[in-house]
Structure formats: C-alpha cells, structure tokens
A and B are shown apart, each in its own frame.
Chain A
Amino acid sequence: MAAPGVVQPTPGPVTAPGLRVFVGRPTASPQEAANWTRRQVWANNLHSIVGRAYPRVRGLTREPSWLVFQMLLPFLTTSSFVFVYRALDAPPAYIGFVVIGGAMTAFWLNVVWMMAAQLYWEKDQGNLELYFAAPMNVMSVLVGMAVGGLVMSSTRAISIMFIATVVFGVSFSISQWALLIAVFVLTLAALYGFGMMLASLFVMWGREAFHLTQLMTEPVYFVSGLNFPVGRLGFIGALAIALIPLAVGLDAMRQLAFVSTGPTGTPEPWVEALILVAMTAIFIGLARWLLHSMEERARREGRLTVRWR
C-alpha cells in the first residue's frame, strides 16, 4: 500500500559489480523472511553462542602479553600463601588447597569481571542495543560470554595448577576421578550461571556495577576459603557452601583431591555435587528470568538504549 503521493518504487539497475552483493539472500517477502522454523531459531541461538565466544577466544592469541599477566601475578599470590603455610609447618595438603584455590581464582575473577559486569560495559560500548536488536535469544550472548570466558580462564587455571604443582611438589591423592571431574564441571556450570544471573542484575544497576564488582571480589575470596579450608569458618563457611558456588565446588574438589586429610567439617563431596546441580539450575533459571525482565523493563524505561538512564 503506497503512502499518499508516493510512486511505488521500481528496482534500479544493479550494474556496478560491487553492488551485486546487495541483492543478498533473496526472500520473496518480509513476511517470509520473518517467519523462521524452530530449527532456524535454534541454529541462530547456537551460532550466536559461538559468535559471542569468538572475540574472547581470539583475544587469547591476539595479545600474548595478557597471558603473562594472567598467569604470573596469580602465581605470585598463590606462592605467598604456600610460603606462609610452610613457615607454620601446616599439613602438606594445605599447599595443595592453596594451589587449587589459586587455579579457581581465575574462574571467579572471570565470572565477576567478564561476566557479571560485562553487560554493563557492553551497554556503554553500544553493543547491548545491537544484541537486543538482533533476532537471537540474548541468553545466547550470555552463554557465549561464558564459553569464551571458560576458555580464557582455563588457560590461566591450568597454568597455575601446573606451575605450582611442579614448583611446590604438590602430591594429590585422588580416589574418585569421575566424581572429581563431575564436581569440577558442575562448579564451572554453577559459577558461570551465577555470573549470568549477576550480569542481568548489574546492567539494571548501571554504573554502580563496577563498585558492586569490587565489593564482591574480596569477601567472596574470604568466605569461599580460597586459601584455607572453608570448614574453618564454621557457620559462615556452611552458609557460603549453601550460597556460593565457588565455596562449595572448591571444598568438594579439595576433599576429592586430598582424601588423606580426613574430616573437613563440611558435607560429603556427593552432597556438595548435588548442591552444585541445584545451584546451576537455579542460577541459570534466574538469569533467564532476570534477562527477560530486564529487557522488558529496559524497553519501558529506556534503560538499555539510552546511555544516560
């Protein structure tokens, strides 16, 4: 239907070779182009995960100097605790506790800085509105960020584990490999689910996100027992195990990797594995709900697309 006074346009000649590409992928009508099959929707979401993970994975090789900072500095922090425990004649397993804690720090920092605060930065860069204006489910973006972050952090975590194990002679005593691997995977799933949930919350809180990130980092280090057994914290430790995926995952992995240390005052590893399963489901579910709520609220209030809001 033409607007009053408008002559229906006719296609112009596409003569310039460079412009032929503008014909693109032909669809008969906008209506045909708008109606996707379920398969197309899924494919779009899966491709979006890969697409969003891509810059993080690519960034690993693009700036090798980053690797030095990401591995060397955390290793120094881990080393300082190792020397303290050695000076105090602590049980050898404590050295292993610190090394595992140091490795897991990589994931926690990644979750806090590159998951939780990421959407806030994306908004500031102008990417967020493009994500929302694209046809994929924005959860794909969060999952892609998590996958890319996992690849980035794994490099750092594996490096710390390897270097510290060799330098400090950590000897693991593992009896349940399968459960250890399962707990590790579940810890990462819960941790990144937690990050996805925070990402949605942080973007609503705007520029305070940065301060919230700072506020969370150290307390979570402490209550998660990154450099000591969380059981030593008594009630606070138990609370952390119930609420913070890093705390529960770390404790379970320590129990499984150093069976000789005896009772830790915390739940059995399989119980902690179940806690992680519940956390993963809750955090990812909440992330999905929050993201949807955030989008609706943002559309009502202009919070996502209007930078000053």
Chain B
Amino acid sequence: MSGSIQAPAIDARGITRVYKAKPTDVTALAGIDLEVAPGEFFGLLGPNGAGKTTLIKILTTLLLPSSGSARIFGFDVATETKKIRRIMNMVAGGEQSGYGILEAREQLWMFSQFYGLGAREGWRRVDELIDAVGLGEQRNQRVSTLSTGQRQKMNFARGLLNDPWVFFLDEPTLGLDVSAARSVRELMVGWRAAVPGRTVLLTTHYMAEADELCERIAIVDRGRILAIGSPAELKRRVQRESIFRLELDRLSGGPGGLARLPGVISAVAAIDATKDGEAPTRQTVVINLVLREDSALAGVVAALDGLGAHIVALAKSEPSLEDVFVELVGRGFEEDDRDEADPMRRAGPADRAPVEPHEAGQPDPGEEV
C-alpha cells in the first residue's frame, strides 16, 4: 500500500523491538498498537525506559521493528523510507547536532540543503524561521556559544525547514528552563495550528506538558501502551466519583445534613481562616464533597440555599495524569527512572565514547566538521 489521503498520520500495528544484548536481550517495545489521526497532537507519556524513543526511531525510519508494521500517512516505515523522510522531521531534547564552528544561520542553511531546499530558498527559509523562533539576535552567533534554550529553538527551526506533515518531538523541553520550555511549547502549538493536517507526536515524561498540549495521550510503560485517550478521558478512568471543594461563608449545623442528600457519598468540613496580614479578617467553611456524579451538586446547592449559606468558592478536584499513571502502573514516574528498558535513554554520558586524544595538527573530534 502506498500513501493515501485517507490514511492515518501514524498507524502502528503490533510493533515489537528487541535489542540483542548480553547477558539478556532487551525488549524495548512489546506490542504497540497506535493510530494517530492527521492533524492530531498526540502524546506518548511514560517514564524513562518506557520505549518512547525506540518507537520514535521506528516511526522515523531509523530503526526496524523486530515484528509488526508501521505506516506514516500510508507509507511503510520499512520499505518506503525516502517518502516518509520527505514529509517528516524530528527534534530531540538535548540535541547537539551540527557543527559548533558554524553560525546558527549557517547551520540551519546546511540542513536546509539536506531537506530539498535550493540554495537561495534555503537562506530565505532559514531567515524566516530564525525570526519566528525568536533567534534573531543570535542568527550570526556560533552554534557552540548558544545557550541550551537557544540551541533548542535552533533545533526546532531545523525541524521545520522542510515543512513536515508529521513532526516527531522526543522530549523537546528536556533540560530547558521554564521560560525556554514555554517558548518551545508555544512554537509547537503555533506551527501545528497554521496548517490543517499537520501532526505532532510528542514524547515526554512531563505530565503537565502532555496535559497542556496533547489532544490524546498514550501512557507507555515497559514497552506497552497501558491506556490511550484524551487527558480528560484518562483522568476519568481513575476518578469514579466527583469531588468538589466548596467554600461557604457559614454552615449552621455542620456538613452532616449534606452527607444525607441523594447522590452525596461524603461531606467533610474544615475551617479555613483566611488571613489578611497577621489579623484574621473572616472565616469560611470548607467542605470536601464527594458525589456519585456531577448532577448531585444541584441538590447540594439547593440545600445550602435553604440553610442560608452562601458559596464563596467552588472547585472541582480533578486527578492529574500522574494519578492516572500511578493507578495504571502501581508506581510513580520518579520510582522508575532507572532506565531499564530504553537503551536510548540508558546511554548516558558515561556510556558514550570518550573524547579520544587527537593527533597534533588534527582537529578536535568534538569540533569535527
């Protein structure tokens, strides 16, 4: 099958990936089924070692699956690599690609030549993208002198040089400060929104990032997809009751009466002394209300009106994606950052080839051009 307008942006069926290793083989992916629609902002959420990066390597044609198949807009990742490479791009967090001796503008131009742009067209596109990602002041600065955040913006511009239809982002905000991470997230959203059909596959282990950006999320652990759905759908999986936090000006008789209302599971009161400086200025009553479903709230509000209590604040408590993960996996992210299954993340600086001594007169390998 070749590409089709009707095809999903990403269609993976039964993907497994096993790395030969000693003493035992490493199973990075253990049967992944995934379908991402054109135009979707899809997230793969999981701890280090979950297999997210391995899946991206397969989808970007850099790695073959041990079994199973995957297609990008209908093109097979095993046999139609060139076609896929023309319509996709990828950016990884902490990416150090390129050559430090070049200026940011020059480096991007070099990459533009690899992605099918002509010489002049490349310069024009590079200048546009440099301005768009906010690197105008650094355009003539050497790559080796860019900060981590600036470098990642440059990487992001590189990823957009060929106007990809599918953009793979592998932990793109890894190691960035809050401001730089926000900036990169805004760029992702802005780029995707500009043309319908553009698809983003984002891997991250930042829960809030996935929650903020993704229309659907797959929670991945140890090479398997544990759950898939929109952030709201995933949260609903772990929230079987509706939980509200009610703040009232007063509540005569206590919350016992509320607890007996239809649909109310429990109502627990707490006093919240809100202070203005040192002196308490007013007192409110805070009720943690657990309902069978949201509709039971109407009865509570009516009852409060009858009791003469006024609602000062009302907030629905929602579980976080971390709660979802804990529910599904039985442990939190932090407990599993041991990089057990994902070789891409396991290869830390200590595993990398050491910078070898180099012969006098030869360029330093680190600055090799």
Contact = CB atoms under 8 A, between A and B. Distances in A.
Interface of A: 1-3, 5-14, 16, 18-27, 29-31, 33-36, 40, 43-44, 47-48, 50-52, 54-56, 58-59, 62-63, 66, 69-70, 73-74, 109, 113-114, 117-118, 121-122, 124-127, 129-136, 141, 148, 206-207, 210, 214, 217, 299-302, 304-309
A19 B35 contact: no
B306 interface: no
Contact of B37 (A8, A21, A299): A8
Contacts of A62: 101
Contact of A21 (B7, B129, B216): B129
13 contacts: A1-B37, A18-B132, A19-B190, A24-B195, A58-B102, A62-B101, A66-B363, A114-B368, A125-B98, A132-B62, A305-B62, A306-B19, A307-B351
A73 B360 CA distance: 9
Contacts of B64: 299-300
Nearest to A118: B368
Contacts of B343: 302, 306, 308-309
A63 to B, nearest CB: 7
Interface in B302-361: 343-344, 346-347, 351-353, 356, 359-361
On chain B, which size bracket covers the interface? 35 or more
B3 A24 contact: no
Nearest to B116: A44
Contacts of A48: 113-114
B8 A299 contact: no
Q: Which 7 A-B pairs have the closest CB atoms?
A: A51-B113, A12-B193, A24-B163, A9-B39, A308-B347, A22-B194, A34-B83
Contact of B87 (A2, A30, A47, A132): A30
Given A20-B194, A134-B85, 19 more contacts: A1-B6, A1-B7, A3-B40, A6-B40, A18-B134, A21-B132, A29-B5, A30-B3, A30-B9, A31-B2, A31-B4, A47-B113, A55-B106, A70-B361, A73-B360, A113-B363, A125-B366, A135-B85, A301-B19
Contacts of A129: 62
A24 B126 CA distance: 11
B191 A22 contact: yes
Nearest to B112: A51
B362 interface: yes
A214 to B, nearest CB: 8
B74 interface: yes
Given A36-B116, A55-B101, A127-B98, A5 B233 contact: yes
A50 B111 CA distance: 11
Contacts of B57: 302, 305-306
Contacts of B62: 129, 132-133, 299, 304-305
Interface in B11-37: 19-20, 35-37
Nearest to A2: B37
A160 B110 CA distance: 31
Contact of A30 (B82, B197, B233): B197
Nearest to B86: A135
Contacts of A125: 96-98, 366, 368
Contacts of B9: 30
Contacts of B117: 47
A131 B36 CA distance: 26
B284 interface: no
A11 B195 contact: yes
Interface string B172-201: 000000000000000000110111110000
B63 A299 contact: yes
B182 to A, nearest CB: 15
Interface in B122-165: 122, 125, 128-129, 131-132, 134, 160, 162-163, 165
B19 A302 contact: yes
A33 B40 CA distance: 19
Contacts of A40: 116
A11 B118 CA distance: 28
Contacts of B118: 43, 47
Contact of A31 (B74, B85, B129, B196): B74
A27 B5 CA distance: 13
